[in-house]
Structure 1
Amino acid sequence: MCYINLSVEPLLICPSGHIEVTSDDDVVLPCHLEPPVDASGEAVEWRHRNTTVLLYERGKYIDAEKKDRFKGRTSLFTERLTEGNLSLKLFSVPLRDNGQYQCFFRSKSQDKSCSVILTVDEPEVMGSDEPVTAEVGDDVILPCHVEPSANLMKLTVEWRCNNSMVHLYRSQKDVPEMQDERFRNRTFLFHEELVHGNVSLKLTNVTKEDAGNYSCYIPRLTSKVKRGNVTLNVVSPDQCTCPDPHKKKKHDESCHYWTLGLGLGLGLGLGLGLGIPLVVCIVRIFLLWNKYVRNRGFAEPGGENDNHLANVPNIPERE
């Protein structure tokens, strides 16, 4: 009888596809041992382009080897090292974090590594190419968002119109005292949507003076495109807007009455301009035509009116 001690070395596994993140967001770069092996007492290192991002040995972080630009921005899931989870968490990722990362696992018996590719997208502020139209007294939403979506809760958002401050969001709250007086208590951001990159502005009780070019500006956004533009057109409630099929029903009704009024006005103006004799002539022609139509109503198909009337017998008068 003999005994054989079989030792199976685990594999170090990283995802084959790219990990995508928007700049300034947090991201997790996955890496794990399969089958799971306790790595809490071993060495774990992450590198980016031959630069040490994180080094963990014998239960503690070794900051001396870490580059300054990664200090305070990296961590392991230390409570899960016993499960073989070596994943790296990166905080507030800038564009320069883009590229290939290597995960290293070192023990007395093995030295393994695998790679992860991180793609950092640059967000852009997007306004609206099409103008927004609203009626006087209505509420309107001026669209603006960041694409790809990013969490903007901690950033500053400025809405301006013709150099006037329409709305200011700073330090995770609105700053109404910085607004132009005519916009005070009339503007709102959708705070719950800021985490998704939506910075659209709601403007209530629209006036004619609100018409103009609006800009949505995020000064601290890590991007070359930090501003989006929206044009607001303001129309009167009685203004004809029926060519636009997306407007409310009352627009169609106002256009109907406007068109009817225009027709009556043109008719009246034409009659007065050509004179009363022409009007009288038109009335006489109408009466003659009406009489002709009524006479044809008594005619038999294919016959003449006189013959038909001649065949009608005389009805004696009653006493």
Structure 2
Amino acid sequence: METALMRCFYVLLSVVICHGFHLHGPSDPLIVHLGGSVMLPCFVEPPLAMEELEVEWKRTDSETLVHLWQEGESRPESQNQRYHERAHFFTEEIAHGNFSLFLTNVTHEDAGLYKCAVYTNLHSDETLIEIKEIERLIVSGGHVISAYAGEDVTLNCSVDSHIPPENIEEVSWKKIDEDILVLFYQESEVLTDSSHERYRDRVEFFSAEERNKGNFSLRLKSVRTEDKGLYICLAFSGALSDNTTVEVLQLGFSSMHIGIFVLCILGFVFGSLILGYLSFISFKNNDDSRRALAIQCAHVLCPNITMSIVFILWGITEGFFTEAATCSALNFVRILFLLWIALHLKTFQDYPHQLINRLAISLQFGVITLVAYLPILVDLWYKINTLGKVFIVGGLLLKLFLTLLYVLVVVCCRRPVKIYRITELQITEIINVLRIFVIISLYRLHPKYLTLAIFPLLPFIWFFCHAVLKRLFLLWISVMMILEVLSASVLIYIHYDFANNVKERDTLTSLTAFLHILTMMILFTSLSPFSETNTVTTHASSEEDLRQGEEEVTEIFEEEVTKSDSKNTGTQRSLSHLVVFVFGTAVVVFVNAVALLVELILKSRNGQRTVDLRVILLPTECVFAVCCLALQLFAFWQENRERFREDIKRLRGLCGCKQTLTISPPENHEHELEKLATASQPSRS
């Protein structure tokens, strides 16, 4: 009895001495980020002795053991498998009374009520900690898509969050490999204007009702080969974010692409090869019949019209409208260029013949300039101030007025008029000046560079130096050519020095070279009436003979101007003209077709553009134009050979060189006039 009383006394004494202990925990429930880490606080003051100390963490709803400290060490083998390697003690802090639990990689199932219980030999206590809500933002739906070009596909993206979908701050779709924004959603509004121009009007989310359910899948319409690649769907809400990726694999060809393949092959095989062979047979047999003319026209029209249509279809399918428009225009206006050198033009009536010769080069120059530079002007329109816009409108109106004036003079006036040649050169040089202004504005250069615009004006001014023209025609034409080359060099220098985009620089440089080759051809076309008229007058070596032949020269002047149209390179049956003609109808068309087909194949395989087709087509067209210019220069030299010799003699005289002065007998003047009158009559052939 005494022993029992003593034990009770010692127990009460120990309680009084220890005063027990009390666990502390958080006063409010915890809110945890999904996938993040959280510390569940549990501590005691003052610290307890480590002997016989046991700390136990459990779920109150299922009595699941989360973690256990026993006999001075952690017991991970006793914890539930769900918390294995995710729930940890702060081992070094337990001796200081800190029994908090560190939980990592929080999942949905971790939400609930946790109990921290501490046991000693003399006392025990517990506290409750609640993980009330798991903040989550889960984006799922990653998958791989294979589709045919031209189809509509859906790129899946589902957003799961404790936040209502209408309160999600941002959801964006991007093309990773090119860092292009495809579609953007912000604060319950779809911002379609923020989409890259390649995807504008081709992408959309589902309805608002679907978005409220967390469905932010992207519908991509009319899939193109360039759409191949990796896409990412990113969602943001405060500090939370998540993403998923969708890959669009190699795309098959659509029916439109197959049609482009077939048209390219048919256009080249039938239009260039078969009709080219028939055209060569007609040339070999000197066949000038209407059947031969029809074959010749079909040989010119079929491949070029086919390739023009092919590039339009390609532009519609792939969305490269500016590039496709330029390539299509090159193929279309090449028709007149080929007719200009065609071997059977003499079978045309006089008036259509004159129209082709007068409009072929200038029309090609005008169309290519308009098609190639119009998109640049449109982009420039939104970047410049009001004064710049007024300048652009004024330049376009000026070009339109001069072009209409020239067309009216050429088409309405059936009689040969020398003034239309001058108007043609005026329009060309004015357009070259306007192009310099556009390029300087495009690259935002300093106004001092506007002085470069004087270079295209120099040939324009020199053209009207008739004093030099009458006395030293060779010197005059040489200066004209030098000034044209200088003008082209200035434009090429601007492109290479200031263009940052390599593709844009190469394209505009090739375009500039091509347009200046056409300008040079227009120059020699404009010189033709002057050269032949002056050639006629040089046959009279004295003023008396000139007065005697004045009436005759006046009568044959209009015939000579008509002949200047007829003496085009396309009307002469020579091997050089045949080679250039075949190059334009076969080789150039072949390069166009192969470039387009290779681009389609590589793009379908890689999903990215390989090269700007204008960089291939424009240099090829330049080579063809240079060949035509060479034929024109040779014909010009043949027509003015005697006059150039006289000019060389005059230049030697001006330089102080000795020369032998040869005086022709008077009777030779009548002989020369007789030869001139005979040559002015139309050939029976």
TM-score interval w.r.t. the shorter chain? 0.3 to 0.5
Q: TM-score, normalised by structure 2?
A: 0.23
User: Which has the larger share of helix?
Assistant: 2
Q: TM-score, normalised by structure 1?
A: 0.46
User: Quick one: higher RCO (CA 8 Å, sep 6+), 1 or 2?
Assistant: 1
Q: Which has the larger radius of gyration?
A: 2
User: Which has the larger share of strand?
Assistant: 1
